[in-house]
Amino acid sequence: MSDTPCLVVDLDRTLLMGDSLHEQLIQGFFSNPLLLFMCFFSLLRGRAAFKKAVATNFAIDANTVPIREPFLTWLREKRAHGSELHLCTAAHQSIAGSIADRLGLFDSVIGSIDINLKGQSKADHLVRMFPGGFVYAGDSHADLAVWKQSQGIVLVGTTASVERAARELGKPIEASFPAERFCIRDWLRAIRIHHWAKNALIFIPLLLGHDWNNLRGIVTTLLGFPILLLLVSSTYLINDLADLSSDRAHWSKCHRPIASGRISVFTAFCVGIGGIITALLLGFFVAVPFGIALSSYLAITLAYSFGLKQVPLLDIFIIAFLFTLRVIMGTVLAGQHYSEWLLAFSMVFFFSLAAAKRHTELLRTLAKGGVAARGYRAEDTIVTAIFGIATGVSSTLILALYFTEDSFQSATYHRPAALWIMPLLVSILIGRIWLLAQRGEMRDDPVSFVLRDRSMLGLGLVGAAAFLLAL
């Protein structure tokens, strides 16, 4: 052994961006919540027994879990200069071993087996293991007990209070790797603020109803909109947690804030659950039917996240129905009568857009040499194209019937003939989306694409002008 003190590295929130136990708990919550619940009974035998039970049933993917890259680069440099590196963590031995195997850096790996190696227990263990002294890299208040026994300190992702307490120990600070600063942009991406415009569908019944004297309907719709945004954004967080493993293995989704570790899974889970509960309570307060519709949206979204997204075509149907459910919410809030034609148009139109999204994902995954996922196979691209194009064409027919059987019967429109341009515009929209999807040039979610593409916005302006002319 060299005269240079060994460098001992902590795992959770030090070498890893997050906490391995939290990762396992999230995985268990979505994959087998009953088995996860049973694991909690092992807490009666202590934390080490609990971690063993969780690790036995819910192992994380060591190849994709986010690592602190700047710190890892520094460790490799230390290794290249002859330093001994040892991994010591309160995480279960199997978890620590899998991470160590991935990196191939450490001379030994020490994890919790019979004793929870955290705080003073870890400090005592390291003193016995390295009587010649050691330098320790950690991040939390629990690591202060270890730093008291160490010859040097490496600060990794510490809070200001932990760093201050560590420096007060009077030990040399070998290196410091500041925690990533809170970035509001990451949260805006995680809650999909760029998708908020989709929820404007809630205003469609109010606009088509032309009941501008219905002050109550206008007010409740305006109140319901931010509540819907809260619920939808919260479910996005939960859905990202459910997709954590697949997102990390995906060529582009691995850069999402939660998948990349910039937002911890524990924080995302708490914010998501808190947002869902708040939205439901506010929804029932505004209107009981609206609260029921929100609850239905939540139930379907969770069913989708927990497994229905793995069923080909059914996943597309669910996405289309969730869009249509927004229209139903708007109908409830505005106090309007349901239009079967409008709901039918919404279902087939958004089925076509959702199919275009799945079709594009399949083509791009296969083009990059990946394997199709979510129950789809390589040859299924023809099926998604057929169903998507067929429903898109059908939506134009249903829209024409909607005008004939519903809108034209209303005395609201003085020049209803102007509305006949709408089916033509929808046909152009569907055609452009599917042309780009088949070419693999659809760079965004089709609904978001409609809201951003200049050609689509131009069609929207023409449609808006026709609508105003018809009044």
The C-alpha atoms of residue 455 and residue 423 are separated, in whole angstroms, by 16
Q: Which of 443, 35, 24, 51 is nearest to 244 (CA)?
A: 24
Is 111 in contact with 127 (CB distance < 8 Å)?
no
- The percentage of residues in the chain with a pLDDT greater than 90, rounded to a whole number, is 68
Kindly tell me if the per-residue pLDDT of 2 is higher than 60: no
Between 57-66, 122-131, 408-417, the lowest mean confidence (pLDDT) is in 408-417
pLDDT of residue 213: 80
Kindly tell me if the per-residue pLDDT of 350 is higher than 80: yes
Q: Comparing 163 with 446, which gets the higher pLDDT?
A: 163
Mean pLDDT of all residues belonging to the chain: 90
The C-alpha atoms of residue 353 and residue 157 are separated, in whole angstroms, by 43
pLDDT of residue 409: 64
Where does the pLDDT of residue 411 fall: very low under 50, low under 70, confident under 90, or very high at 90 and above?
low
The C-alpha atoms of residue 215 and residue 238 are separated, in whole angstroms, by 35
Kindly tell me if the per-residue pLDDT of 372 is higher than 70: no
pLDDT, average across residues 345-374: 83
- Dihedral (CA of 213, 219, 222, 227) sign: negative
Q: What are the CA-CA distances from residue 30 to residues 36, 238, 280 (Å)?
A: 9, 10, 21
Kindly tell me if the per-residue pLDDT of 54 is higher than 70: yes
| CATH top-level class of 6-177 | alpha beta
For 128, the 3-state DSSP assignment is helix
Return the residue matching tokens 């990196």: 103
Residues in the chain: 471
Kindly tell me if the per-residue pLDDT of 31 is higher than 90: no
Where does 183-315 sit in CATH, by number?
Answer: 1.10.357.140
- The percentage of residues in the chain with a pLDDT greater than 70, rounded to a whole number, is 96
pTM listed for this prediction: 0.87
pLDDT, average across residues 316-332: 95
Q: Which pLDDT tens digit goes with each residue over 69-80?
A: 999 999 999 999
Q: What are the CA-CA distances from residue 261 to residues 147, 268, 293, 351 (Å)?
A: 26, 11, 33, 33
